[in-house]
Amino acid sequence: MTGFDAEAILRALRSALPADKGRIGLHEPCFAGNEWTYVKDCLDTGWVSSVGSYVDRFERELAEFTGAKRAVAVVNGTAALHVSLLLAGVRPGDEVIIPSLTFVATANAVAYCGAVPHFADSDEATLGLDPDKLAEHLSAIAEIRGGDCVNRRTGRPIRAVVPMHTFGHPVDLDPLVELCNRWNLVLVEDAAESLGSLYKGRHTGTFSRLAALSFNGNKVLTTGGGGAILTNDDGLGKMAKHLTTTAKVPHRWEFFHDATGYNYRLPNINAALGCAQLEQLPRFLKQKRDLAARYREAFREVQGVRFICEPSFAASNYWLNALLLDPPFVSARDDILEMTDKNGIMTRPAWTPMHRLPMYRNCPHMDLSGAEDLGLRLINIPSSAALGGGHD
Ligand SMILES: *Cc1c(COP(=O)(O)O)cnc(C)c1O
């Protein structure tokens, strides 16, 4: 166990972070623009709730920013995933392939559809779905039956694949698109963490039939709570809007609903916050890249640990910066978490992989040694936009 010095990690963190900041959190929102003005406008006009111009504006500007044809704003990222999966055709009894190493919302959204998560392994290069391993797994367990991809072991149709862009780093999408075409699976991106991240020059969330964004308080941009569905299909965009607004058929006074819809619409007051945040997004992204560059430099010479950089094919938003411990030093993780916390720098481990949670323990899965391993070796470090750029 030579070459590992936990104190060196603390020194590297301190050298990359601004001095005299007091306690440094993992990811704090920044309200330095028109937030007060737009929210006050909602209060002054009384348009705080389910109708108002900020929702339309936020949706239009999100579509412009991402290059998606349509963005539909909803109450949170989990709701965006839920409705995306429904519109992808996920039905009760289907299976949906998702990475085991993800936030619990990805798995929960599958369960809300009455479907079963089928866990796939993650790749150290991207921290996301490993396309080669998934290809091998599908060849071993799946067959096409009457147009459906069927899991021969369970007899259930596998309907969709939901890659997730971990900590904002894009997963390798091209081979996944190809795999989905070959196996007749619908691709749905969980882009909750990757607003502002590009894959081969194009915004994440625009490679799949539908994608979900999140604007929770700890994300790149926040609306308090919120999310959006992205799609390039006008028909699906219309259906997403309809389903997330109680499936009410427009009429001046009649209450007629033509499906079991959801009250998932983003309130106008949250959308107002979103419009103000979107104006600052280019600056947030610049600051976050700046912070990541400082970390990269600071950790260059630190033994036993590697700072996670964007994959070569991507421009990442660096939503949540992360360190990866070299395999021999896994056991030092908790000491590092403890020591950084004691010194006023908040750090966190990655999520417990989904197949380790009680409600998903018995779900189908492939070999998950990559996810298990990454789950133990990753440490998230402070990533707020305000920590990068112009502080010295
Ligand atoms: C944040 C997040 C979501 C959705 O989160 P909400 O809190 O519901 O907005 C979904 N998936 C991943 C991977 C996330 O990080």
Q: Do residues 82 and 150 both lie within one domain? A: yes
Q: In angstroms, rounded to a whole number, what is the distance separating the alpha carbons of residues 74 and 212?
A: 10
List pocket residues of ligand 1, CB cut-off 6 Å: 76-78, 102-103, 105-106, 164, 190, 192-193, 214, 216, 227
Domain membership flag for residue 1? no
Among 257, 278, 299, identify where a domain stops: 278
- List the chain residues with pLDDT less than 70: 1-3, 390-392
219 catalytically annotated: yes
pLDDT per residue as tens digits for the range 114-128? 999 999 999 999 999
Domains: count for the chain: 2
Domain membership flag for residue 343? yes
Q: Do residues 255 and 303 both lie within one domain? A: no
Domain membership flag for residue 66? yes
Residue nearest to atom 2 of ligand 1 (CA): 192
Helix 77-87 vs helix 234-243: angle between axes, to the nearest 10 degrees? Answer: 120
The Cα diameter of the chain in Å comes to 75
* Atom of ligand 1 at shortest range from CA of 109: 10
Pocket test for ligand 1, best of 74, 102, 214, 266 (most atoms within 8 A of CB): 214
Nearest residue to 177 (alpha-carbon basis) of 204, 155, 148, 147: 204
Pocket test for ligand 1, best of 129, 193, 195 (most atoms within 8 A of CB): 193
Q: In angstroms, rounded to a whole number, what is the distance separating the alpha carbons of residues 389 and 392?
A: 8
| Contact predicate 129/120, CB 8 Å | yes
Q: In angstroms, rounded to a whole number, what is the distance separating the alpha carbons of residues 383 and 288?
A: 7
Q: Do residues 67 and 206 both lie within one domain? A: yes
Give the CATH number of the domain where residue 62 resides. 3.40.640.10
Residue nearest to atom 4 of ligand 1 (CA): 77
Among 232, 260, 278, identify where a domain stops: 278
Pocket test for ligand 1, best of 110, 190, 230 (most atoms within 8 A of CB): 190
Q: Do residues 49 and 13 both lie within one domain? A: no
Element (H, E) at 74: strand 70-74
Which residue type does 173 have?
L
* Atom of ligand 1 at shortest range from CA of 218: 1
Q: Do residues 312 and 175 both lie within one domain? A: no
The per-residue DSSP string of 327-384 comes to GGGGGGHHHHHHHHHHTTB--EE-PPPGGGSGGGTTS-B---HHHHHHHHHEEEE---
Domain membership flag for residue 392? no
Domain membership flag for residue 39? yes
State residue 2's pLDDT score. Answer: 56
Q: Do residues 246 and 366 both lie within one domain? A: no
Give the CATH number of the domain where residue 323 resides. 3.90.1150.10
Domain membership flag for residue 239? yes
Domain membership flag for residue 17? yes
* Atom of ligand 1 at shortest range from CA of 102: 13
How many angstroms is it from 190 CA to the middle of ligand 1?
Answer: 8
Q: Do residues 239 and 360 both lie within one domain? A: no
Nearest residue to 131 (alpha-carbon basis) of 191, 171, 181: 171
How many angstroms is it from 226 CA to the middle of ligand 1?
Answer: 10
Burial class from Cβ neighbours inside 10 Å (0-12, 13-18, 19+) for residue 275 reads buried
Q: Sign of the CA dihedral 350, 356, 359, 360?
A: positive
* Atom of ligand 1 at shortest range from CA of 76: 9
How many angstroms is it from 189 CA to the middle of ligand 1?
Answer: 12
Q: In 17-103, which residue ranges form alpha helices assigned H by DSSP? A: 35-45, 53-66, 77-87
Domain membership flag for residue 120? yes
Q: Do residues 86 and 148 both lie within one domain? A: yes
Q: Do residues 359 and 379 both lie within one domain? A: yes
Q: Do residues 294 and 244 both lie within one domain? A: no
Tell me the whole-structure pTM to 2 decimals.
0.97
Range of the structural domain that residue 49 is part of: 35-278
Q: Which of 40, 69, 200, 219 is catalytic?
A: 219
The residue length of the chain stands at 392
Among 255, 278, 301, identify where a domain stops: 278
State residue 390's pLDDT score. Answer: 61
Q: Do residues 293 and 222 both lie within one domain? A: no
State residue 392's pLDDT score. Answer: 45
Q: Do residues 306 and 259 both lie within one domain? A: no
